[in-house]
Amino acid sequence: MGDSIARKALLIAVAVALPPAVVIHLSTPSTTARLASLGFGALLILVSWLLARSLAWRINRLTDLADRLLDMSVPLPELPASDDELGNLARSLSRMAPRIDELVNRLRNELTRREAILAGMTDGVLAVDARLNVTFCNNAFIKVAGDHGPAEGVPLIRIVRDPMLYQIVKQVVDSGVAQRQRLQLSTPETLSFEVHAVPLATTSSRGAMAILHDVTPAEKLERVKRDFIANVSHEIRTPLATIRGYAETLLDGGLEDEGNRRKFVEIIQANGVRLNNIAADLLTLSELESGRSGAQPAPISINNALCSAIRAIEPAAHLMNVQLLADPIPDLYLLGFGIRLEHALLNLLDNAVKFNKPKGEVHVQVRDRSGDHIEVRVSDNGVGIPAEDLSRIFERFYRVDKARSRQVGGTGLGLSIVKHAVEQMGGTVAVESELGRGSTFIVLLPQCSRPRG
Ligand code: ADP
């Protein structure tokens, strides 16, 4: 460029100086005049060329300065001070430099922050340009779509294998209208996503951005809630219908039926007790699940908790002709909630008695496991549990033999309460069983040191 200005100035100077010099040379015989015109022409050309060179050099310095404005890590070149227009331009560029630097830094920080936010989001984020080439996608999206190597610049069709998701993004790019849709994607397990795709418009082109929000846990929760409400309604409906039926029978003349009226009232009372048991178990379960116990865990003696649970079950065991056997209980402690532990142990003992045979046995053992855990085993030689039901008996309302459970006053919530209570105290509960031979429930709880005093 500098060369070009100097060359152009040289050509112009030659074009201006040469014709008069030639005319003077041809029209005058005087050697002095001829030499003077030649000298003057040569001087004119030289001065013009030098001026043009100096101008070109200064413009080059300005270009250099402008080039470095976006990279302030390199120091800006010193510009010679002058009062002409180029000097003004140089000063103006130098004044702009720090402001441009600040602006570039701010943009860079903003971009880094946005990229960090998008990358760290648990929702999948995908952006495409107008030609459906990926311009950005975060890790959460790669987890959903699968890792197919670097995604930037790659056609969307090669990254997204799900036709519905591809279609949503394409439609938003084509129409410029936002879309919201629920999709199931195999990732490889099937998960549900709420996809929200919005157009991304720049002045020159249109793209789209899609956000994939995993709604699988929410859907699961909705399903659990629905099932729970259905189960509760079902459980309550039977005793309520029985109570209503017998009350109506009594009103329709049953009160005068001396032979049966007592039996009718007893049935009403038994179903009232059943409803009460269901309500009490639901309340306990909801308290355990919400975790709002209010109380702080305290050291509990396993001996005390187990003895009071055994005392509470003795009358029922006696009634069922089931023998209760307990090995000597070691003096061990755990950090938890006394009433809850007692409730859980009572539920296990209650089941061991309920699902037993006449003259059956229930055996209770407590062991110190490696000095850091307490193991409680409640074994019976009762009906046992089929292998296929073992994994489900801790679910709410799950019963192997519904009729038998109802007959013995079961709610189907006892083992859920045991599981929640034990887990709340940092423990686990497991079961071993053989159909027709009996079951053993094993509770493992972390030990704590004996309280002083
Ligand atoms: P329920 O109120 O019916 O006892 P639980 O939640 O306590 O409800 O138990 C769920 C089911 O597990 C019972 O209905 C029963 O079928 C089975 N079960 C629990 N404990 C025993 C046991 N000791 N022996 C045989 N079956 C048992």
DSSP for 424-436, written as a single string: HTT-EEEEEEETT
Q: How far, in Å, from the CA of 354 to the mean position of ligand 1?
A: 8
pTM of the predicted protein model: 0.61
Mean pLDDT comparison of 53-62, 82-91, 388-397, highest-scoring range: 388-397
Q: How far, in Å, from the CA of 385 to the mean position of ligand 1?
A: 8
Reported confidence tier of residue 453, pLDDT bands at 50, 70, 90: low
Q: Is the CB of 393 under 6 A from ligand 1?
A: yes
Q: What is the mean pLDDT of residues 363-374?
A: 94
Give Cα 239 distance to the centre of its chain.
42
Structure confidence at residue 167 (pLDDT): 94
Q: Is the CB of 385 under 6 A from ligand 1?
A: yes
CA-wise closest residue to 367 among 333, 330, 335: 330
Q: Is the CB of 410 under 6 A from ligand 1?
A: yes
Identity of the amino acid at 35? L
Structure confidence at residue 203 (pLDDT): 65
Question: Which atom of ligand 1 lies nearest, measured to the CA of 409?
Answer: 2
Is cis: bond before 75, omega within 30 of 0? no
Q: Within 13 A of 89's CA, how many CA atoms are on the CB side?
A: 11
Select from 276, 353, 405 the residue to mutate for testing ligand 1; criterion: most ligand atoms less than 8 Å from CB: 405
**Spatial contact of 378 and 364, defined as CB atoms under 8 Å apart:** yes
Question: Which atom of ligand 1 lies nearest, measured to the CA of 396?
Answer: 6
DSSP H stretches of helix in 84-197: 85-120, 139-145, 156-159, 163-175
Angstrom CA distances, 142 to 159, 163, 209, stand at: 9, 16, 15
Give me the count of residues in the chain.
Answer: 453
Q: Is the CB of 400 under 6 A from ligand 1?
A: yes
The percent of residues in the chain predicted with pLDDT above 90, rounded, is 50
Query: What is the β-pairing status of strands 124-128 and 206-214?
Result: antiparallel
DSSP state of 155: B
Q: Is the CB of 351 under 6 A from ligand 1?
A: yes
Q: What is the mean pLDDT of residues 341-366?
A: 95
Select from 278, 393, 437 the residue to mutate for testing ligand 1; criterion: most ligand atoms less than 8 Å from CB: 393
Give Cα 186 distance to the centre of its chain.
17
For the segment 168-188, what is each residue's pLDDT rounded down to a tens digit?
A: 999 999 999 999 999 998 877
d(CA 241, CA 228): 20
Residue 36 CB neighbour total at 10 angstroms:
14
Question: Which atom of ligand 1 lies nearest, measured to the CA of 415?
Answer: 6
Select from 231, 274, 277, 351 the residue to mutate for testing ligand 1; criterion: most ligand atoms less than 8 Å from CB: 351
pLDDT averaged over every residue in the chain: 88
* Residues facing 162 on adjacent strands: none
Name the residue with the closest Cα to ligand 1, atom 25: 384
For the segment 181-218, what is each residue's pLDDT rounded down to a tens digit?
A: 999 988 778 899 999 999 987 766 789 999 999 999 99
Q: Is the CB of 411 under 6 A from ligand 1?
A: yes
Beta strands in 141-283 (DSSP E): 179-186, 190-201, 206-214
Residue 299 has pLDDT above 90, yes or no: yes
Q: How far, in Å, from the CA of 413 to the mean position of ligand 1?
A: 9
327-331 contact pairs (CB < 8 A, 24+): 327/363, 327/364, 327/365, 327/366, 329/302, 329/303, 329/364, 329/366, 330/302, 330/303, 330/366, 330/367, 330/368, 331/301, 331/303, 331/450
Select from 399, 413, 418 the residue to mutate for testing ligand 1; criterion: most ligand atoms less than 8 Å from CB: 399
The Cα angle at residue 374 between residues 371 and 377, in degrees rounded to 5: 140
For the segment 11-52, what is each residue's pLDDT rounded down to a tens digit?
A: 888 888 888 888 888 888 888 888 888 888 888 888 888 888
d(CA 110, CA 258): 88
d(CA 47, CA 299): 103
Residue 2 has pLDDT above 60, yes or no: no
Residue 1 has pLDDT above 50, yes or no: no
Q: What is the mean pLDDT of residues 106-119?
A: 89
